[in-house]
Amino acid sequence: MQQLVNTALGGITLGMVFAAFALALVMIWRSTRIVNFAQAAMAMVTTMLALSLIERGWSYWAAFLAALATGFVLGAVIERTLVRRVEGGPELNAVILTLGLFIVLTAGAEIVFGSDYRSFPVPFSLSGTEIGGTTYALTGFDIFTVVAVLVTMGLLLALFQFTDIGLRMRAAAHQQEVARLLGVKVGRMLTLGWALAAVVGSLSGLLIGGGSLVHPHYMESVVVFGFVAAVLGGLDSPAGAVVGGLLLGVTLSFVSGYVGSGLVALAALVVLVVVLMVRPGGLFSATTARRV
Amino acid sequence: MAGVPQRLRTTWREVPLARHLVLAAIGLVLVAFTLPAVGDFRATQLTELAYIALAAAGLTVLTGLNGQLSLGHGALMAVGAYTTALLLDERDAGPPLVLVVLAAVAATLAVGVVVGVAAARLHGPYLAGATLAMAVAVPGIAVHFRDQLGGEQGLRTYTPEIPGWAADAAYYLTGSDPSRSTYVAFLAWATLLLGLVLLANLARSRTGRRWAAVRDDEVAAELAGIHLGRARVSAFAVSAAAAGAAGAMLAIADRNVAPGAFNLNLSMTLVAVVVLGGLGSLTGAIIGAAVLTLLVSFGPGLGRSLGLDDLASEQVAPLVAGLVTVAVILLAPRGLAGIAQGRLAARRARRAYTSAPSSDGGSPPSSSTPAGSGSAGTSTAVSTPTGKGTP
Amino acid sequence: MTNKQRAPWVVRSTTAAVGLLAGTLVLAGCGAGGREDGGDEPAEAGSTVGVTDDSIKVGAHYPLTGVAAPGYSEIPTGAQAYFDYVNANGGVYGRQIDYLVRDDAYDPSQTTSVTDELVLQEEIFAMLGGLGTPTHRAVVDTLNEEEVPDLFVSSGSLQWGDDPEAKPWTFGWQPDYEIEGKVIGQYISENLPDAKVGLFLQDDDFGADGEKGVRQYLDSQIVSVQKYTSGNTDVGPQVAALQADGADLVIAFDTPAYTALTQLVSLSLGYSPQWFYSNVGSDPTLVGGLLSNFSEGAVEGSSSSLDGVLTTEYIPGVDAPDDPWVQLWQKVWDENGSDGDLTNYRIYGMSQAYTFVQALFAAGEDLTREGLRDAVEEQGGDFAGPNLAPYRFSADSHMGIAGMRVVQLSGGKGEAQTDILVTDIGDAEITTDDSGQADDAPPESGIPE
């Protein structure tokens, strides 16, 4: 029973991080119809930067904010200088561009930060929570993770639903021509969308790395899992991304604990294929299947 | 007498198979003479170049010609490699090598059909993501089924001895006994050239034209009576078969097949090679693989001369490969082969103007097919291995 | 573009091709011709590849990057320091040792390519201390086929030494995991007979060999076996399963990064069994270093974080600064070392390098590959050195050090719990070592004769 609960708890924490990552993918997809395969590498770079700052004596929170700010700038710069050139072009070019960025950022990080495994400290307890004499695998940092992701989602929802700039961003994403006619600076909105998505991606990087070991490849599995989570919910649906992330996190945790840790990626593939075969647009999408 | 060159000319022009076979034979002879001269270590590097180029050639047909992107070709190579290792698991009593490679191709082809059926329903980023998941998941199977597939440390592959006649032939030609590395490199290049001939002919055939039609315009292709699903699945299967042969060569070259060899990096490398060379260009696949192999051997030296330490220097090659991939996509989507062809075409066009000024010389050079305007978008010339031949 | 314009090029290239073909055939006919009979060169006394009058080229593959790099990447720096020391003192029979280390990232396919580079391009005389079970396994047959001495593999797998006929060029060095498992198993069955034992194993020969040894003594006490895949750093589910199965003593055959991870996860699970880490994964300084960063008192920092943990020891380490061997290593490191302090991994590299230099001297002035192999087989069993138990080297066995002692960590130091126990693979009995190997002291010069 305790194992069951602990495995589930581990899965939920992991799932929240996948959800954040998937959410960032969805934000970019909705605005520019691009899946950003470089997102994991971008998050890795900002997290490694935060760790370097902490090792130089910065406080966790200062480094945390610095990483998010760097993510914002990185996202904006990448959109403005590179992605802009392939937006609206062939799908294939955009995919390959982001893959190329993935390779560049990973190799660059190995050169700049080195390839050592380093521990990423957090200002939270790493001990589990004791309830009625049994310890459950819910650490202070796990709680922070869940709260941070929930707060971020709330903020994004508020931004898009209740603010003027959010409205403009939505308009730019969905009805570019109309938005342009109405005086929305579409290009600027798209840049902002990428920047915000990169902030959310960076957050997921900080949450995965925190209290564990980080190195330039630590986000590599998340490239796949984050994508699977996003597709599970439908690339168009922010709510779907969250549900997809949680589902995947719990599934993978149980596969690792009860079947075999080597099969985690295979389980993700099976989940992905089944969902795509049954509902090619994801669980939360109304898109019809492509005819064969 | 004057009729012979004329007939040769006609055959050359009108029978691509003959043309490709002659060129492949020339290539093979060149390889046979070059290999013993380059030394064992260069031979192992050339082996790697050959199997990377072969897998990339398969991928370029799928992506360039049919418009489907696969980030999972590393996993398909794993299928071929593990099949090979399972068949060559005894030191002295392996089946003939040709059968082993054919079995590897067949197994990967079968997997390719299954994956292709699933892939045919997906497009763009969905397909990319699903194949990406495949790239990561397949090595995990080998890790989990430790008793059958050797787990983390993989399976040992025993290469059959060099056949007596082959050793004698090599001795006759070069005056020395072929080393193992030379022999394996020759095998890999022979497989690569054979694969290229088959792929080039397929690309030129009715099947190839169907693939391109599906890529360019689904609706038009369907109106023309092409079964979309069938065309997509067959493209995937053929592409997988090439990856399977490449995997078999990897298994023979490495003498050991372990999951670590088929990491995300391998699949990414293949995509980079294809993009670098030019989507859809078989010549490009070889050029791309060659450029990448060169990068890997000179990258570390470059890094050290820039004052980086040994470990950081190892990362210079992937860094440059990534940068070039990005640059190529942004600046020259037709890749290196495309650039070369553009030059060649321009020169030919110039010559056409000068020699026949009155003719309607503005027609596009024959080496580029009508630019794809559909999902694959970029102009995707499928050239034969002759494409780069300069007069 | 009409056909006419294309034709000249086609004809020219076809002519060229035919000409080339003909030319090569003629060339071949003149140049090489058929194989001559009996043209073989007379057999040499032995291979001297990689040896010159003033140098010996030695190669090694280590994980300098990746999940196995923490700790292990320090081993070659220790070996390098010792070789620098020997070179500065005149080398081996006047030959300087040229030591080439390549990174394989603990990935067998990379091991294959760097070994090809070392053997075929660099033409090394011998491989020394190639690290890792899955990694070295990928190249061991190549090395034997190429007849490259493959000395002192940095791994305790049985396969390096249990069949010298199949692998005549390969020699182990450290105690193999099976005898380590046996020693651990016997210790627990004698001292903690009521413990419910869980196993935490790396999912390869490392874990399997260890399990084989442990089960000889503990089969009935084992309540749970969990395996992790190297590279997947989420070990939460595995540790949760050990906890759920009620294991109150966990024997781990893992690498240092996973020791740190198991400690972290146990903390979050509130799980505190008696841990027994195999020698490989137990370095208190390294694991403590990985853990010390996790601040806020969540995990105690420094080397005391593994207090109370049981492990084994087969060479003296940094926790015994008064040991004459450690004093030698300290001197060598101070004179020749790179950045950083002397660590147990560097001592491991130096100890191995010491044994290698010993073997080179034993092989004599006319160094050949065959001579080196024979020297280790004939004299290796009597090599003096830092090893606490003697080597098992002979013509029939290429297994390394024969035994070890169980120690309990406290404040970063190992407190001996047993005598030096020696045994062999299979059902060989465990006995107390009486060879006096542990009492060796290094020669004055610090260089074996």
Helices (H), chain B: 3-14, 16-38, 40-60, 66, 73-87, 97-119, 124-144, 146-149, 164-174, 180-204, 206-216, 218-223, 228-254, 264-277, 282-305, 310-314, 316-331, 335-355
Domain annotation covers residue C428: no
Query: In chain C, what percentage of residues exceed pLDDT 70?
Result: 87
Average pLDDT over every residue of C280-298 = 71
**A137: chain C residues, CB-CB within 8 Å:** 236, 240, 265, 268-269
| Distance in angstroms (rounded) separating the CA atoms of residues A107 and B300 | 13
Q: Quote the minimal CA–CA distance from B325 to chain A in Å.
A: 6
pLDDT exceeds 80 at position B339:
no
Does some domain include residue C99?
Answer: yes
The helix (H) or strand (E) run that includes residue C238 is: helix C236-244
Q: What is the pLDDT of residue A290?
A: 45
The confidence score (pLDDT) of residue C210 equals: 92
B245 pLDDT higher than 90: yes
Confidence category of residue C214, pLDDT binned at 50, 70, 90: very high
Interchain CB distance below 8 Å, C7 and B146 = no
Q: For C264-283, what is each residue's pLDDT tens digit?
A: 888 888 888 999 999 988 88
Q: Tell me which chain A residue has its CA closest to the CA of residue B266.
A: A103
Q: Which of A111, A222, A228 to mutate to test the interface with B (most CBs of B within 10 A)?
A: A111
Query: Do C64 and C159 have their domain in common?
Result: yes
Write the burial class of residue B344 (CB in 10 Å: 0-12 exposed, 13-18 middle, 19+ buried).
middle
Contact B261 C64 (CB under 8 A): no
pLDDT value of residue C32: 44
pLDDT of residue B175: 67
Residue carrying structure tokens 């520019």: A32
Both tokens assigned to A199 = 């902030």
- Residue B322: other Cβ atoms inside 10 A: 24
Mean pLDDT of B363-385: 36
Give the Cα separation of B270 and B264 in Å (integer).
Answer: 10
- Quick one: which H or E segment has residue C103? strand C96-103
Of B30, B310, B365, the CB nearest to C1: B365
CA distance A264 to C240: 17
* C102 and C218 share one domain: no
Q: Which residues pair with C249 in a beta bridge?
A: C197, C274
Give mean pLDDT, residues B6-34: 79
What would the pLDDT profile of C354-380 be if each residue is shown by its tens digit? 999 999 999 988 889 999 999 999 988
pLDDT band at C422 (very low <50, low <70, confident <90, very high): confident
Q: Is it the case that residue C34 has pLDDT exceeding 70?
A: no
Work out the mean pLDDT of chain C and round it to a whole number. Answer: 83
Q: Cβ–Cβ of A121/C229 closer than 8 Å? A: no
Q: Is the pLDDT of residue B361 over 80?
A: no
What's the CATH code, domain A2-278? 1.10.3470.10
Residues C170 and C283 in one domain: no
Cβ neighbors of B262 (< 8 A, separation 6 or more) are B74, B75, B77, B78, B81, B135, B138, B139
| Local confidence band at B248 (pLDDT 50, 70, 90 cut-offs) | very high
DSSP string, C275-308: EEE-GGG--HHHHHHHHHTSTTTTS--SGGGGTT
Beta-carbon-side half-sphere exposure of residue B36 (alpha carbons within 13 Å): 16
Domain residue limits, chain B: 15-267
pLDDT of C301 above 70: no
Alpha carbon dihedral C223, C229, C230, C231, in 10-degree steps, equals: -130
DSSP letter, residue C382: G
**CB C153, CB C130: distance < 8 Å:** yes
Percent of chain B with pLDDT over 70: 83
For residue C402, give the DSSP letter.
-
Return the sign of the alpha-carbon dihedral for residues C56, C57, C63, C64.
positive
| The two structure tokens encoding residue C377 | 């087989």
C117 vs B: CB within 8 A: yes
Region C284-304 average pLDDT = 62
Q: Sorting pLDDT into bands at 50, 70 and 90, what band is B102? A: very high
Split at pLDDT 50, 70, 90, the class of B352 is low
Tell me the pLDDT tens digit for each residue of A187-237.
888 899 899 999 999 999 999 888 888 888 888 878 888 888 888 888 888
Q: Is residue C37 part of a domain?
A: no
A&C contacts, CB < 8 Å: 122
How far, in Å, CA of B109 to CA of B283, rounded? Answer: 23
Compute the distance between CA of residue A280 and CA of residue B8 in angstroms, rounded to an integer: 53
* Structure confidence by residue, pLDDT tens digits, C60-119: 999 887 767 778 888 999 999 999 999 999 989 999 999 999 988 888 878 888 998 899
In this structure, what CATH number is given to the domain that contains residue C199?
Answer: 3.40.50.2300
Q: What is the pLDDT of residue C293?
A: 65
User: Are C112 and C185 in a shared domain?
Assistant: no
B37 vs B149, which has greater pLDDT?
B149
**Which residues of chain B have a CB within 8 Å of the CB of C108?**
152-154, 256, 258, 260-261
Summarize pLDDT for C385-397 with one digit per residue, the tens. 898 898 999 989 9
Probe site for chain A from C227, C234, C292 (most A CB atoms < 10 A): C234
Of B134-138, B263-267, C28-32, C317-321, least confident by mean pLDDT is C28-32
Domain total in chain C: 2
| Alpha helices per DSSP H over C341-445 | 344-363, 369-379
Distance from C-alpha of C168 to C-alpha of C150, rounded to nearest angstrom: 9
C-alpha to C-alpha distance for C80 and C86, rounded to whole angstroms:
10
Q: Is C216 exposed, middle or buried (0-12, 13-18, 19+ CB in 10 A)?
A: middle
H or E element, residue C422: strand C421-422
Which tokens go with C136? 């070295």
> Which two structure tokens, joined as six digits, stand for A172?
């730019």
Q: What one-character-per-residue DSSP string does B41-95 give?
A: HHHHHHHHHHHHHHHHHHHHIIIIIH----S-HHHHHHHHHHHHHHHT-SSS-PP
Show the domain range for C344: 55-175+317-402
Give the pLDDT of residue C122: 87
Boundary-marking domain end, from C263, C291, C313: C313
Nearest CA in chain A to B330: A85
Select from A97, A227, A263 the Cβ nearest to the Cβ of B129. Answer: A227
Rounded (5°) CA angle C65-C69-C75 = 115
Please state, for a pLDDT cut of 90, what percent of chain C lies above it: 39
Chain A residues within 8 A of B234 when measuring between CB atoms: none
In a domain, C412, yes or no: no
- What pLDDT is recorded for position A288? 46
| Residue C227 DSSP SS3 | strand
Which residues 6+ apart lie within 8 Å of A30 measured at CB? A173, A193, A235, A236
Best mean pLDDT range from A184-188, A267-271, B273-277, C246-250: C246-250
Chain segment B294-325, per-residue pLDDT in tens: 887 787 778 778 877 777 777 888 888 889 88
Residue C262: partners with Cβ closer than 8 Å, 6 or more residues away: C200, C235, C239, C250, C252, C254, C275
Residues C294 and C206 in one domain: yes
Distance from CA of B200 to the nearest CA of C (A): 18
pLDDT tops 70 at residue C27: no
d(CA A242, CA A23): 7
Give DSSP secondary structure letters for B125-173.
HHHHHHHHHHHHHHHHHHHH-HHHH-GGG-EE--PPPPPHHHHHHHHHH
pLDDT in tens, B214-234: 888 888 888 888 888 888 999
| B203 residue type, one letter | A
Distance of CA C259 to the CA centre of its chain: 18
- pLDDT for position C44: 54
Domain limits of chain A? 2-278
Cα gap B112→B3, rounded to integer Å: 47
Compute the average pLDDT of residues B202-215. Answer: 87
Residue C144 lies in a domain: yes
pLDDT in the model for residue C37: 47
Q: In chain C, which residues have their Cβ closer than 8 Å to the Cβ of A142?
A: 268
Burial class (CB in 10 A: 0-12, 13-18, 19+), C297: exposed
Residue C381 lies in a domain: yes
Under 8 Å CB-to-CB from B202, ≥6 apart: which residues?
A: B61, B208, B238
> Contact C261/A213, CB-based, under 8 Å?
yes
Residue B32, exposed/middle/buried by CB under 10 A (0-12, 13-18, 19+)? buried
The pLDDT profile of chain A, 292 residues, written as one tens digit per residue, is: 677 888 888 889 889 989 999 999 988 888 888 889 899 999 999 999 999 998 888 889 999 999 999 999 999 999 999 988 888 777 788 888 998 999 899 989 988 988 777 888 888 877 777 777 777 778 888 899 999 999 998 898 888 888 888 888 888 877 777 888 888 888 888 899 899 999 999 999 999 888 888 888 888 878 888 888 888 888 888 888 888 999 999 998 888 878 877 788 888 888 888 888 887 777 776 544 444 4
